[in-house]
Amino acid sequence: MFEIGFSELLLVGVVALLVLGPERLPVAARTLGRILGQARRAMQGLRTQMEREIDMPAFDSAPLQRLEQEIRQGISLNAEPANDGATAPTPKENTL
């Protein structure tokens, strides 16, 4: 993944020793190791969940399609509401 050789790692270690000092370097290395471990575990968990989602069995949509057909048969979208005398609109008079 990272193409870092031994000489680059040695250079980073010397710079870290100079910047942090010998007292704080072990604490910083431990903290960095802990953070990298948590990142690896999080990535592994994400990978596992993605594989589990991909390997899920196919969703059977036949029952949902039957339910949709039953609902469409029960509801007629083109039917007009029944007009009874109470709700019938009254015609407007011309007042010219």
CB 89 within 8 A of CB 81: no
Rounded CA-CA distance 16/28 in Å is 9
pTM of the model: 0.47
Give the residue, 4 or 6, on which the prediction is more confident.
Answer: 6
What is the full DSSP assignment across the chain? Answer: -----HHHHHHHHHHHHHHHHHHHHHHHHHHHHHHHHHHHHHHHHHHHHHHHHHTSPPP--HHHHHHHHHHHHH--TTPPPPP-TTTPPPPPPP--
Query: How confident is the model over 11-47, as pLDDT tens digits?
Result: 988 999 899 888 999 999 999 999 999 999 999 999 9
Residue 71 in this model has a pLDDT that exceeds 60: yes
